[in-house]
Each structure stands twice: as structure tokens, then as C-alpha cells.
Structure 1
Amino acid sequence: MPLSVTFLQGFFSSYQHLEKFYVAYSGGVDSTILLHAMHAAELPIHALHVNHHLQQDSDRWQEHCEEVCKSLSVPLIVRHAQITKLPQKSLENSARDARYALLEELLDLKSAIVTAHHRDDLAETVLLQLLRGAGPAGLAAMPDCKKLSIGFHLRPLLTYSRTELLEYASSNNLQWIDDPSNQLNDFDRNYLRNEVMPMLLKRWPAAQRTLSRSANLQADALSCLNDLAEMDIKAARTKQAQILDVGALQALSSERLNNALRYWIKSNGMRVPSKKVLQQIVSDIVLKKEIDTSPLQTWKDGEIRRFRNRLYLMQPLKPHDASQVIRWKIDQPLFIESLNRTLLPKELVDADIAIPDGVNELIVRFRKGGERLKPIGNKQHRSLKNLLQEADIPPWERARIPLLFHNDELISVLGYWNVGLGCETTS
């Protein structure tokens, strides 16, 4: 059954709360069909074309997209991608990642990216994920609606085959661009499409529908696994979403622990590390009974640390020079790059820090070791090291806490303790 405007209107009726749809428009046949059909369905669309500058005719393709959108009176946004080829990633995947990054920059809470993936694409993705050893998350392949950190990614054409979509293109006399790179079998997806799928379909004519059904079943299984992970993370969660109780995690079976950690990392906006790295997190950090130091496991997107009985999920820490001395004009914000933090004048007021009248500048330093102070309300001097330990502050944070000085006198361990003016502090 060829694509119909009525079908699209029914699909998008579930997303009436969204105000704008960005159609990923390459100029190829699939995205041309999607753009034309969504325009015919009178949906609030903008087309977005990403020029990767990877082909000799890239600029000509952009001009074609501009002409088509002008003829349809559809607003077109053009973005230019800079592709960085990484050793562990194919050029195809690098281009895709750059494209989606540009697409997502446009989104807000009431908008969505719409792509023209269809049933053939879905079948190819399932096979690729199988060959990569993927679990349910990979085999679930392409949902028709995916919640992003901001906005949504919609795929309304997944129930249609490429053949059915071409019927729509033919009946509407659509013009599109054929990308010659689609015939190059150097790319895994092209090899599957051009060589493997024809053989599979010759032997099993319903293979695409069967693979699509398998993806749907994997999506159901993934939903159950996510529900279970949410229960396990909730039981281990502390007051902060990025900190979990190690004891609660150690009580889980190996399978549930791995599932919970993957879900926790992903729900905090980070890519899940490889299976090897995840196993190291479990064996070297989570399940260690006695830990003398603060173990650390890093990967591209983040790092996991443990302090006492708590597990911390963090962005990778930037190099930090604890010997630096910074002058702060306290009527202005101060950005400290190594902390990725901005100190605000409001913090001084909220912390009730005693600053002498007429003083408009403080000195920001960091802990070196050996500091002693007498916090307001204390009867005797204490070492800053002991105060930080008693406050349960993780070791990696201690040298990153701003210490505020006036005339070489420590007046605040910002966010923790204030020192009365005139009180003795030593280092």
C-alpha cells in the first residue's frame, strides 16, 4: 500500500503538542517523499539540509534542495558540517553523528526532528546490530518516536517499504538526487542493502517484515528492562541522581547490576561505555569490598568514581592547577575554566560572607595542604583536611573548592565554612 497523506495526518495526530517539525532533507528519494507528503498533510514543517562537503556535487545538491523547498514554500535551513574522521569510526558514521548534532541544535521542548527511515532501513539496522553483538537496546533499532534530551526524533515511515514509497514518488512525479556513494559496498550498510538483502529476500520474501517484528519485540523487552533498572536505581539513589549507594548495587545479581548501570549512565545523558569498560566498573569499583583509594574508570563521555560507599557518575574532570591565584572583582561573575564553574556575586550574599565595607576584590586560592582555620561557631582551630573529611567531601573535590581571601586572611571555604574577620588562619 503506497504512502498516503491520511496516514501521515493520523501519525502526527499523536503529537499535536508539538509546534514545529524539522524534516531532515538530503535531497535523496526518501527525504523528498517525506518532505512532499508532510507538506501535503499541511503540517508545520521546516526542512533542514546538512551539507557535509564530502561529494564533488555537494553544493549542487544544496541548490536542488533550495529549489524544491522554494517551489513548496517550505522554509529551508542549511547547515554546513565539518567531518572529523576518527580511527574507531567510519566516515559514514562520522557524517551521521555530525548531521544529528546539527539537527538537535535546533530543537526545543515543542519540536521534533523527522527522518525518512523506512522498513528496509529498519531491517538493515537489525542485521547490522546483530553482527555487532548488540543487546536489546541495539536490536530495538529504530523506534517511531524517540525522546531526546530536548525534543523528539520521529520516524513516521517505518511501516512502509522502499518499494511502497517509490510508488508515492512516481505518482507525484517527484524529482530527487541519487547519491552515487550509495552504490559503494565499502560501507557496511550499502553492502547489506546491495548484496545481502537481495539474497535474503530471494530465499525469505517476508524477511523485512520479520526483522521489523523482531525489532518491535526487542523494544518491548527493552522497555521491561528499563522499568526494572528504574526500580533498582531508585533503591540505590541518594539525594543526587549522579550518586548511588554501593551497598544497594552490590545486592543485585550480576545481570541486574549491569542493566542498572547502563540505564543510570544513559539516563544521565551519557553514552554507555563498551562492555569491557562496564565490566571493569563492576569488578574494580562497585564490587570491591575494601577500597583504600578512590578508584576511577573513564571513557569518552564520562567517568565513574567511588568514595566510601558511594558511586559517582561525572563528566571527566579538567586538569586543575591548585597553585593558581585569581583576583575576583566581586561585583562581576568569575569563570574558572579548570572547574568549569562561574562564581557569582550572589553566592557571597547567599553564603552570608562577611566582607569589609569598600572591599571590591577578593583573592581566590585553592587548598595546598596544611591549612588550619576557626570556622564561625567553632571554639578552636581545625585543620581544613579534617573538616573536609568529616564533611564527607570526596578527595577529588577538595583541591577544587575555592578559598576566598582578603588581605591574606581566609574568610570563606566557599560553599562550606565562613571564617570570622580577624580570626587567625594558618597555612
Structure 2
Amino acid sequence: MKNIFKNYKYKKNLIAYSGGLDSTILIYLFIKNKKKIRAIHIDHHQNETSYIFTQHCKKTCKKKNINLIIKNIYIKNIQKYGFESIARKLRYKKIIKCLKKKEIIITGHHENDNIETIILSIKRGSGPLGLSGIKKIKKFKKSKIFRPLIKIKKKYIYKLAKKKNINYINDKSNENIKYDRNFIRKKILPIIKKRWPYFKKNILKTSKLCNEQNILLKYFIKKEIKNIIIDYNKINIFKIKYMNKIILKNILIYWIKKNTKIIISKKIIKNIKKNIIFNKKKIYKKINIKNFEIRKHKKIIYITKKNKNKIKKIYWNKTKIPLILPYNLGFLILDKKKNKKKIKKKKKNKKINIRFYKKGKFNQYNSKKKINIKKIWKKFNIPTWERKNIPIIFNKNKFIKIINKFNINKFNINKKIFYISWKK
């Protein structure tokens, strides 16, 4: 275990501390190697022993002068979702909320955990990504998860605890074979080991090979996707329509994961092909993937967040101050480099207003002509769902301009030229 901190650069560490053997060994190793740590204990409230675990963690951390955070979770609908799955999601949700800036999550996963995970992936029918197993370090939300013990066998962790007389609690729930992991550990692996002593070693070999395949797949997909992508969330439909089915499938998986962090199922892929890519009708269905939508507009497939914008009008009374737009659409700001003279506006003046997805004909500001906003959308080939998120500048009820997100926008209001930027 000497090399687990080789080239270790992280200064802030939050250890997921259960009070059991693996997380207690983590506490010992981090203190021994003089690493800055905090600990977090999640009380699942599943039985009467949860209180004993919490008190043990408190006592240990107090003795070692470690800042300990205690959080509670209460799990419902166990039969519907499965205890292990829902518990893991709730644990990480609590941990993420407690993270400090530049702090990473440390967990006690070891080699045996990795083998169990790979077997569970086989059970679920996973591909190379699932069979790659548990990574030593992984990006997670805005942080990272580091697993220093992932290449260490459980027996060596036991030996270290015995040698150093490290005090920890045995979790009796680890004996309950109703949980899949325990069933694999207690029932399946002993039988396999007896028949094939080299099985565990070969499982890890398979995992390594799958990881290599996954790296190669990513490399070639990244190369291929450069030719078909228009923008990060837009794909040219004609460049994927006649692709090999396997290549198309993997491009869709990669592209959607890159934009949403969601790994899509075979059912969703089939749905995208049928209703988006190969749909010859003029009316196209949208495909919902959690908070995202996949749509088709002319020759392009889009992936966007679900549009919740219901704001009709916002007044910009104080133009000196940036105007924050709703639904995380960013803000409008006067460009200081371009605007040499400040615009003087009365506090109660409700002339300048911002609108979204406005239809119809409007008089133009500083002109006698009327303009049909729909024609502007069509001219710039902007899909209907994107129009709801693009701000339009009005002076009272007179149209000035549709804001262009990528340029400085020039305006003439009250015979004064000024410039506005739309930033996110």
C-alpha cells in the first residue's frame, strides 16, 4: 500500500466514513501520510445498529481530531427501486452538498468490490464501459472520486488492520444475501474459486481489456464526430443517416452522454432512429431523455434542455446594471468598451423591455415600417423551441432587434448609439 499516494496532488479530501474496515483503513492511511482530511458519515437508519456506527465514527474522529459531518437518509420504496441503488444515489447527493471548493471524495472501494461490480455488470448485460469496472479516479459532478484501495485485495486490508490494531465495526448487513453484492460474495464467488482458482484474476484481466477497448472506441468516435457535428449539440443528419448501424449507435451514445451525462438505452436509440433520423414525415416527434429533448429541424438533429421559459416581458429600467434573464439564460450587459457615454434613464421609466418568442407584426423603432418577427426566425433558420430562449429588445411596443448571442449588438435609442452583449 506504499504507492497509493504516488503523484497524489489533491490537498482537500472528504472521506466517506462508514465506521467499517475499509473506510477506517482510509482514515489511518491519510493521517499516516499527513494528508488533509474531513470525514462524512451517512446514517441510513435501517436498523438499531445505525446509532452504534454513528457514535463510533464520532468517537474515532474526535480522538484523531478530524472534522466529521453526519447526515441522515431515510429510504422508501425499497421494493420498487432496490435498496443498494437508491442508498448509493442518496449518499452521493448528501456528500456532494457538503463538498468544499477543490475538495474530492475518497471512498474505500477495493479489488474485491471491483470484481463484484464487474459480475453485476455482466448480470445487467453491460458493454465495454460497464465491464471496465471501477476506476481509481473518476470525474463526478464538479468534483472527483478517488479510490486509493481499488487495486488492493481485501485480505491485505484485513492484515493491515490486525497488524496496526485498528479499531472498526463489522457491519452485520454484509452477511445478508438478499443484497446482490453479498450474494455474489458469499454464494457465487466461493463456488467459482473452488472450480477455477484463477477466475478473479481473469475477471480483472477482462476488465482491463474492456477499458482499453473503451479508450480506443472513444478515440475513433471523437475523430469521426468532428466530421458530422455542427455545434456541440447539433448533428448533420445526412452525415449519419447512411452510416454503419454499429458506428451510428456508438456515435449517438457518445454525443448524448457528452451533452447530458446520461448513458442511453437500446430502446432510446431505436426511438431516435425511427422518429428522428429516418422519419420522412414533416411533423417530427421529440424524444424525451430526463430533462433533455432530442428534436429534428430541417437537416439537423438537436439536443436541448427542456424549455420552461414562460416569461412574457421583462423591463430593463436601470440599463447601467446587467439584466439577469430567467431560467439560466444568462444576462444582458452594456458593453463598457463600446459605450463611451452612459445612458441616462429615469428609475421608473418602463420603455426598454425584453420579450421572448414574440409572434406577429410590430412597428420598428425609428422607422415607419412594420416587421414580421416570424420572418426573422425563418431567415436565420432558428428552430421553434430555441426561439423561446432568445431575447428580443423592444422600446415600449416598438421592435428594436433580436439579440444575437455571438456578437455585440448595436442599437440606436433616443438618437444615441449603444451596444449590448448577451452573456452566459
- TM-score, normalised relative to structure 2: 0.84
1:132 and 2:100 correspond: no
- Given candidates 223, 245, 249, the residue that maps to 2:240 is 249
Q: In structure 2, what is the equivalent of residue 285 of structure 1?
A: 276
Q: Secondary structure at the match of 1:38?
A: helix
Q: 1:50 to 1:269 in 2, by over 3 A?
A: farther
**Larger % of strand: which?**
2
Task: Show the counterpart of 1:165.
Answer: 157
Q: Does 1:15 align with 2:3?
A: no
Report the secondary structure of 1:124's partner residue: helix
Offset at residue 317 of structure 1 (A): 2.3
Q: CA deviation at 1:139?
A: 0.8
Amino acid at match of 1:317: N
C-alpha distance in structure 2 between counterparts of 1:82 and 1:315, whole Å: 30
* Residue in structure 2 matched with residue 177 of structure 1 by the alignment: 169
Query: In structure 1, how many angstroms separate the alpha carbons of the residues matched to 2:77 and 2:286?
Result: 29
User: Where in structure 2 are the equivalents of 1:20-39 lying within 5 Å?
Assistant: 20-39=12-31
1:305-336 deviations in Å (ceiling 9; x for gaps) = 22122222222222x447x4444544566666
8 A Cα contact 2:139 2:145, kept in partner: yes
For 1:90, which of 55, 74, 82 is the aligned residue?
Answer: 82
Question: Following TM superposition, by how much is the alpha carbon of 1:151 offset from its aligned partner in structure 2, in angstroms?
Answer: 3.3
Output the amino acid matched with 1:42. Answer: K
Inter-CA distance 421–91: structure 2 relative to 1 (3 Å threshold): same
Aligned residues of 2:307 and 2:385 also touching (Cα < 8 A): no
**CA deviations over 1:126-156 (Å, ceiling 9, x no partner):** 1111010100111111011223343322222
Q: How far apart are 1:418 and its partner, in Å?
A: 7.6
Question: Between Structure 1 and Structure 2, how many residues are aligned?
Answer: 408
Equivalent residue for 2:216? 224
Q: CA deviation at 1:95?
A: 1.3
Structure 2 unmatched ranges of 5 or more: 416-424
Q: CA deviation at 1:270?
A: 1.9
Residues 2-401 of structure 1 aligned to structure 2 (within 5 Å): 4=1, 7=2, 10-16=3-9, 18-81=10-73, 83=75, 85=77, 89-105=81-97, 110-238=102-230, 240-288=231-279, 290-318=280-308, 320-321=309-310, 324-330=312-318, 337=326, 339-346=327-334, 357-358=345-346, 360-361=349-350, 362-374=352-364, 381-401=370-390
**Contact preservation (8 Å) 2:365, 2:398:** no
SS in 2 for 1:69: helix
Q: 1:379 to 1:419 in 2, by over 3 A?
A: farther
Q: Is the 8 A contact 2:317 2:345 kept in 1?
A: no
Residue identity opposite 2:121 in structure 1: Q
- Residue aligned with 2:6, SS: helix
Cα distance change of structure 1 residues 187 and 329 upon mapping to structure 2, 3 Å threshold: farther
Matching residue's letter, 2:152: Y
1:216-275 per-position Cα deviation (integer Å, ceiling 9, x unaligned): 11111111111112112222222x312222223234321111112212222234211222
CA distance in 1, matches of 2:365, 2:273: 40
Q: Secondary structure, in 3 states, of the residue corresponding to 2:66?
A: coil
Look up the equivalent residue of 1:245 and give its one-letter code.
N
1:373–1:419 CA contact under 8 A, matched in 2: no
What is the DSSP-based 3-state SS (H/G/I as helix, E as strand, rest coil) of the residue aligned with 2:145? strand
Q: Secondary structure of 1:68's partner?
A: helix
CA distance change for structure 1 residues 347 and 79 in 2, over 3 Å: closer, same or farther?
farther
Tell me if the contact between 2:317 and 2:346 (Cα under 8 Å) persists in the aligned partners. Answer: no
Percent identity over paired residues = 28
**1:388-427, aligned counterparts within 5 Å?**
388-415=377-404
Contact 1:291 1:308 in 2 (8 A): no
Distance 1:88 1:349 in 2: 58
- Distance across 1 between alignment mates of 2:343 and 2:363: 17
259-268 or 367-376: which moved more? 367-376
Q: Structure 1 length as normaliser, TM-score?
A: 0.84
Alignment partners' CA distance in 1, 2:223 and 2:100: 29
1:198 CA drift (Å): 1.9
Q: CA deviation at 1:392?
A: 1.3
Code of the residue aligned with 1:14 in structure 2: it is: N
Name the CA shift for 1:243/1:15 in 2 (closer, same or farther; >3 Å).
farther
Distance apart, 1:47 and its partner CA: 2.0
